[in-house]
Amino acid sequence: MIVLAAKRLLAMLLIMLVVSFILFSLFESDKMAVAGKVLGPYSSVEQRELWLDQNGYNSPFFTRYTNWVGSALHGDFGDSLQYKAPVSELLVDRLKNTGILTLVFFIILIPLSLTLGVLAGMKEGSFQDRAISVVSVLTTSVPEFATATFLTGLFVYTWHLLPGTSSMTNGFSWKELILPVMVLVIYDFGYVTRMTRASMAEVMTSQYIRTAVLKGLPYKRVIMRHALRNALIAPFTVIVLQLNWLLSGLVVVEVFFAYKGFGYLLVDAALFGDIYVIEACVMVAVFVAVFSQFISDIGYTLLNPRIRFS
């Protein structure tokens, strides 16, 4: 188990290192372009060369790369060109907002999707199963921006129940979280539900479940004590890996509702050409992706003895 964790961790670090090198090469190999971004398009060549000399850009490429990696490990990504503030401060503030949105999303998604998936898988082929499966496929087929548009038209312009934006200009408001969370849950619960349903249906046809039923054990006890524990192993992996999907889904939702989170910051930086913010956001996104994969692999190994002892 320790060896497996060490291998996964090493692979995670290697991926981070490769991505960081590619990222740095793309954005900072052209020194004059970087100086132009920082000083503005109307700066002279002399001004740019002076700035490059003062900020260590005349050092060899690999020296600059190692210095950049060292600074990034200490949380120093430089100052934002757009906001004139340390990138780390912007990132922490926006990640906190995205963390709140993500937490509420998971609090609703996990019990909803697992319950519906288990109910569908318990009676494979029944009306209950087909109804849940149709709804799951339907909601997952509609992209986030279409769902957001429909819900905004319904709850904001037709019923006048919810605010149309979630910019939190007057302080934090739970009411402004409802629509973004609703869009994320509607799009994603169908996928997790179908994965849970497939896992539950497979467990229900296994020999030990049939044996338990034939022995006369109460059906509820068979489900709760025997089927459910094994059926939820695969959905655990799926739920953890939803963090990867959230990186893209949150961009759409946060921009649509003007929610000041990580996704909104990334899009804003890309439109403005704020290279230091883009670099920081990409590294955070890659870290979340590889770390969620790491947690998924280790968690699945711990939950499934057949893998652990094979």
Residue 309: pLDDT over 50: no
Question: What are the pLDDT digits (tens) for 2-38?
Answer: 777 788 889 889 999 999 999 999 999 999 999 999 9
The torsion angles phi and psi of 79, rounded to 5 degrees, stand at: -105, 140
Per-residue confidence (pLDDT) for residue 228, from 0 to 100: 83
Residue 310 has pLDDT above 70, yes or no: no
Share of the chain above pLDDT 70, in %: 97
- pLDDT tens-digit series, residues 80-123: 999 999 999 999 999 999 999 999 999 999 999 999 999 999 88
Select from 236, 223, 232 the least CA-distant residue to 299.
Answer: 236
Given a cut of 70, whether residue 180 has pLDDT beyond it is yes
CA–CA separation, 82 and 239 (whole Å): 35
Q: Are residues 98 and 250 in contact, defined by beta-carbon separation less than 8 angstroms?
A: yes
Give pLDDT, residue 160: 93
CA dihedral (177, 258, 241, 10) in degrees, to 10, reads -130
Q: What is the mean pLDDT of residues 57-74?
A: 93
Instruction: Give the pLDDT score at 96.
Output: 93
Across the range 229-253, mean pLDDT stands at: 82
Element (H, E) at 166: none
* Residue 305 confidence class, pLDDT cut points 50, 70, 90: low
More reliable by pLDDT, 21 or 242: 21
pTM (two decimals) = 0.89
The Cα–Cα gap between 224 and 207 comes to 16
Per-range mean pLDDT, top range of 138-152, 229-243, 246-260: 138-152
Other Cβ atoms closer than 10 A to 129: 18
Give the lowest-confidence range in 33-47, 200-214, 247-261, 291-305.
291-305
Q: Range with the lowest mean pLDDT among 2-6, 206-210, 306-310?
A: 306-310
Q: What is the mean pLDDT of residues 166-195?
A: 92
pLDDT at 34: 93
Q: Measuring CA to CA, how many Å separate 27 from each of 34, 41, 62, 170, 287? A: 8, 17, 14, 37, 19
List the alpha helices (DSSP H) in the chain: 2-28, 31-39, 45-54, 61-73, 87-122, 127-141, 144-152, 178-204, 207-214, 219-221, 228-231, 233-256, 262-272, 275-303, 305-308
- pLDDT attached to residue 113: 95
Average pLDDT, the chain: 90
Sign of the four-CA dihedral 23, 26, 29, 34: negative
CA distance 217 to 155: 48
Residue 270 has pLDDT above 50, yes or no: yes
